[in-house]
Structure formats: structure tokens, C-alpha cells
Amino acid sequence: MSARETILNAVRAGLDNRKVDAEAVRREADALLQDLDAVRPELPAGALVDAFIARVTSPKVAATAERIKDVNELPAAVRRYLDLHKLPPSVALQPAAVLKNLSWHGLETRGEVAADDIVGVGIARWGIAETGSLVFHSNPETPILANFLPLYHIVMVHESAIVAFLDDYAAVVVGQRPPRNVNLITGASGTTDIEGSLVLGAHGPAHLHVVIVKDTPEL
């Protein structure tokens, strides 16, 4: 018998002998939820949206953010960002109706995001203040790949879609039909694999800008 077979047989034997008390597991899970405040981290002081922005713009997340009053202000916010970073007036849009229907006067737009696009504009389904994360659900209007292709990623999220903690997001979507793909993205893409130095844009956007819209989406 080879060493591989010996190890696998030991694993199989361990699994066969394992007995799981489903009721005990349920009790342990319930106990973890009885005092969530005791295990949740403290959020930055202030309103929920302010806490989210504080996390998004923190050094660890290293993104930027701004607030607008209405979704129709998004093109102007995008143009300000392009001008600030001396980028060409050209953006690729996720194929979402809410983006296509905006007035992008003065900007060249394309209806899908390609691998060589410099700037992409997309939509996050939720924001999580605990970590400054954005939640993306895949559907025909919000293809997941578009979140990883552009060098600069500008993301719109509605203020009313920002929740305090990760488990709050889980509670909101429970019972809903799940999407085929869910991504939680926290800041720009980065890695410290090479000599422990932080490199941004290693496997996704190098720059993330979050635009928070005050109006209420249809969720």
C-alpha cells in the first residue's frame, strides 16, 4: 500500500467514525448570535454612511469616495474624477439600464468593459461599513468580470444599500433567490507576495472610487 493510499484510508476511517449531533451544532450557532454586540467590532463614530466612508478611505482599503444627491449627478462625478487624475474623457459602462439612461454629455462611453479599458463604471448591490467592502451580485446588467478589468474602477452604491456589518448583509438577502456569483471587494486589488512590498493592481483595478448616491434604489 502506498503512502497516499494509507493517508486516504485514514481520512476515510475518520469520516466514517465521525458522529455529528445536529442539535448540538444548532445550539452552538444560536449561542453565537445571542450577543452580537459583544463580538462585533466597533464602527467609526458618526452616521452609518460616514462610517462606511471612513473605512473605504482608510489606509488599509486605500480607496476614495464622494457623495452625490441624485443618480443623475453621477456623470459629473465621474468627469471630476477623470479630470483630477488627468485621465481621458472615456469610460466603459456596465450594461445596466440605470447607467445607460444617464446623460454622459462630453464623455465617450462604451456599453461593456473590456480587458484594456482604463476606466470602468459599475454598480455595487450593497456596501458594508464594517470593512468598507462592496458587494456585487452577478446578473446580465452587472457582469462580474467588469469589476476586475479596468485600471480605474468607479463604483456607484446607494446610501440606503449600506449596512453596518457583514452579517447584516446576510440577513437582508436571506430568503432571496441567490445570484450565480457574489463578490465582496474591499479596496483596490493589491498583493504583498513580492518581497513584502504592497503592489496595487496586481490582479484587478489599481484604483477604486466609490460614489454614494443618496436616493433610494429599488431593492
Instruction: Give the span between the Cα atoms of 12 and 207, in whole angstroms.
Output: 47
Which tens digits make up the pLDDT trace of 120-152? Answer: 999 999 999 999 999 999 999 989 889 999 999
What would the grid cell of residue 152 be?
A: 480605474
> What are the respective helix, strand and coil percentages of the chain, to the nearest 5?
35, 25, 45
Residue 133's alpha-carbon distances to 59, 125, 187, in angstroms, are 14, 11, 7
In this prediction the pTM is 0.80
Which tens digits make up the pLDDT trace of 52-78? Answer: 999 999 988 989 999 999 999 999 999
CATH number of 42-213: 3.40.50.10420
Domain boundaries of the chain, sorted by first residue: 42-213
- Tell me the pLDDT band of 182, cut-offs 50, 70 and 90: very high
